[in-house]
Chains A and B, each alone.
Chain A
Amino acid sequence: MYEEFLEDIAQTNGLREVNTYLKLVAGLGTILLCLLSSSYIAPLFIATVLSGAILILARIDARTYAELFIVPFSFAVMSVAVIILLSGGNDVYWSWNPLSWFSLSITRESINEGFFVFCRVIGGMSALIFIAVTTPMTDLFVVMRQCRVPEVVLDLAMIIYRSIFMIMDQLVQTYQAQVMRLGYGSFRESIQSFATLCGSVFIGSWNAGEDLIRAMDARCYSGKFAVLGETRPVELSSVLAVAAFLMMSSLVVIFSGNSTLL
């Protein structure tokens, strides 16, 4: 699972050369629209359009995209079930009152509410995945610097970014070596092996991090990473596409009003 981060996909996606701000406006704008909408229609509309953009324009493998959705999807189903059981309404289909302060019921209103939240999660997730697969972190660092994110935070963010990959490398190697030596045979052994794994990788990548800082110090690092920001041209066609998409989504939000599933 870890061998392929979204980052690798983002580096080679079809929308790589589109201006970063434009992609962020599209992604963040739709997240906001999903939250502002009070009906399930707008989030579904947004999810459909963005999924199309991800699959066709960014040329992301459909299988990868589906796999990304599985975890949030299963969690959404679970949490929405809780919401349906907890919230009440007038049209009761089923109810159960084991305690005076605790009751579960399924009503028309609660199904509407649950379905609405479910669609909002789907809409929001597709917008998030859209940003994730089209914009590599390196581009976002440039944006963060231009937005005056404090230098020290940016610095730490880049060190963490680097150490994630260092830790990953060592973790995979050590873990495979442990598995080959039957390190995860029983529960007790698993805990022991996992702790050894974490400990040795922690120290190992800490050393690597110190080497990195020392190497950078030797090259006049003063607590400020120089990021070479490529400024990507803003193309008229993509501006129009994003504007049209946001306009249409806003219209859907306004006209769908409070319409519900049932």
Chain B
Amino acid sequence: MHIMEGFLPLYWAVIWWIVALPCLIFGIYQLKKVLEADREALPLLGVTGGFIFILSSLKLPSVTGSCSHPTGTGLSAVCFGPWITSVVCAIVLLFQALFLAHGGLSVLGANIVSMGIIGPLAGYIVYRSLRDTRVNMYLTVFLACALADLFTYVTTSLELALAYPAEVGGIVSSFVLFMGIFAVTQIPLAIVEGVVLALVFKYIVSLKPDILLRLKVFPEEKIRVARSEA
């Protein structure tokens, strides 16, 4: 779920923008470097962006009335790292606000922080810590994608709780309440998303492994082994 226009008070909207901006600037710097080194990455970045757009527009109405959706950011975090992903996400979120009236402009900063920065960062940390171990490659991608999705929702709940703390128990109890509402739909969704993206990754490994090697996503050996098994 994206926080929608007008939901956050002005000062929280500004604070999240201030948090998001340095990450975006660093992302743009990295993006420039990647594209200078390898122009072939541009179509892949475009397609991942398009996929994030479409996956996160699949709004599934949840029991509680709010809506949940997959985020699709994990795959991009694995391939390009969290900072470039934040730039891709910022563009996607802007498009969603303007194409589908999904999200908003003043709250764009807050949405970038949850879906573009914290989520992918969580996924990336999982991926980096498992990459060079003997854990199965697809399991790594599954965990990275599922956690990127989950952490997006944890961050969104935190953003909502900070803006609207409860009278009794303050931020903690409103955080628990917002989390509880999302958990019903989001935990199964995160698992499904992880499975789907891991299968997409399997497609990439079997059909176009060269780009994964050039971006050094996984060690060559692992990819070769996975290909020979398939």
A: residues with CB less than 8 A from B are 2, 5-7, 28, 31-32, 34-36, 43, 68, 71-72, 74-79, 82-83, 85-89, 97, 101-103, 105, 117, 120-125, 127-129, 131-132, 135, 137, 140, 150, 152-153, 155-157, 159-164, 166-168, 171, 191, 194-196, 198-200, 202-203, 205-206, 209-210, 212-213, 223
- What's the Cα separation between A191 and B1 when bound, in Å? 21
Q: Are A7 and B4 in contact (CB under 8 A)?
A: no
Please encode chain B, from 57 to 96, with 1 for each CB lying within 8 Å of some chain A CB and 0 for all others.
1010100111100000000000000000001100110110
Which of B5, B40, B176 gathers most chain A CB within 10 Å? B5
- What's the Cα separation between A223 and B45 when bound, in Å? 14
Q: Are A205 and B196 in contact (CB under 8 A)?
A: no
With A79-B7, A210-B43 given, is the CB distance from A156 to B88 under 8 Å? yes
Q: Which residues of A contact B165 (CB under 8 A)?
A: 86
Q: Lowest 3 A-B CB distances belong to which pairs? A: A124-B6, A88-B167, A209-B43
The stretch that binds A, out of B111-119, B129-137, B201-209, B214-222, is B201-209
- What's the Cα separation between A210 and B45 when bound, in Å? 11
- What's the Cα separation between A88 and B199 when bound, in Å? 48
With A31-B5, A78-B65 given, is the CB distance from A152 to B95 under 8 Å? no
- The residue in chain B whose Cβ has the minimal distance to the Cβ of A114 is B164
Q: Are A156 and B101 in contact (CB under 8 A)?
A: no
Sample (24) of A-B pairs whose CB atoms are under 8 Å apart? A5-B99, A31-B104, A35-B106, A36-B10, A71-B67, A72-B101, A76-B4, A78-B64, A79-B160, A86-B165, A86-B167, A102-B166, A125-B4, A127-B5, A132-B97, A137-B99, A157-B94, A159-B46, A191-B196, A195-B199, A198-B199, A202-B204, A205-B50, A209-B43
- The residue in chain B whose Cβ has the minimal distance to the Cβ of A223 is B35
- The residue in chain B whose Cβ has the minimal distance to the Cβ of A209 is B43
- What's the Cα separation between A196 and B31 when bound, in Å? 30
Q: Are A203 and B46 in contact (CB under 8 A)?
A: no
Q: Are B59 and A71 in contact (CB under 8 A)?
A: yes
- What's the Cα separation between A17 and B56 when bound, in Å? 32
- What's the Cα separation between A132 and B101 when bound, in Å? 7
Q: Which residues of A contact B40 (CB under 8 A)?
A: 210
In the assembled complex, how far is the CB of residue A155 from the closest CB belonging to chain B, in whole angstroms? 8
**B213 at the A interface (CB under 8 A):** no
With A31-B5, A161-B95 given, is the CB distance from A128 to B101 under 8 Å? yes
B: residues with CB less than 8 A from A are 1, 4-7, 9-10, 13, 28, 31-32, 35, 39-40, 42-47, 49-51, 53-54, 57, 59, 61, 64-67, 87-88, 91-92, 94-95, 97-102, 104-106, 160, 164-169, 172-174, 176-178, 181, 192, 195-197, 199-200, 202-204, 207-208
Q: Which residues of B contact A194 (CB under 8 A)?
A: 196
Q: Are A86 and B50 in contact (CB under 8 A)?
A: no
Q: Which residues of B contact A125 (CB under 8 A)?
A: 4-6, 101, 104
- What's the Cα separation between A2 and B80 when bound, in Å? 28
Q: Are A86 and B177 in contact (CB under 8 A)?
A: yes
Q: Which residues of B contact A36 (CB under 8 A)?
A: 10
Q: Which residues of A contact B197 (CB under 8 A)?
A: 198
Q: Are A31 and B46 in contact (CB under 8 A)?
A: no
Among candidates A78, A83, A103, residue contacting B66 with C-beta atoms closer than 8 Å: A78
Supply 6 further A-B pairs (C-beta < 8 A) apart from A68-B101, A78-B181, A102-B173: A75-B66, A128-B5, A159-B49, A191-B196, A203-B204, A205-B50
In the assembled complex, how far is the CB of residue A98 from the closest CB belonging to chain B, in whole angstroms? 11
- What's the Cα separation between A131 and B7 when bound, in Å? 18
- What's the Cα separation between A167 and B57 when bound, in Å? 13
Q: Are A199 and B200 in contact (CB under 8 A)?
A: yes
Q: Are B101 and A205 in contact (CB under 8 A)?
A: no
Q: Which residues of B contact A86 (CB under 8 A)?
A: 164-167, 173-174, 177
Q: Which residues of A contact B98 (CB under 8 A)?
A: 6, 128, 131-132, 135, 137, 140
In the assembled complex, how far is the CB of residue A221 from the closest CB belonging to chain B, in whole angstroms? 10
In the assembled complex, how far is the CB of residue B228 from the closest CB belonging to chain A, in whole angstroms? 20
In the assembled complex, how far is the CB of residue B215 from the closest CB belonging to chain A, in whole angstroms? 14
In the assembled complex, how far is the CB of residue A212 from the closest CB belonging to chain B, in whole angstroms? 7
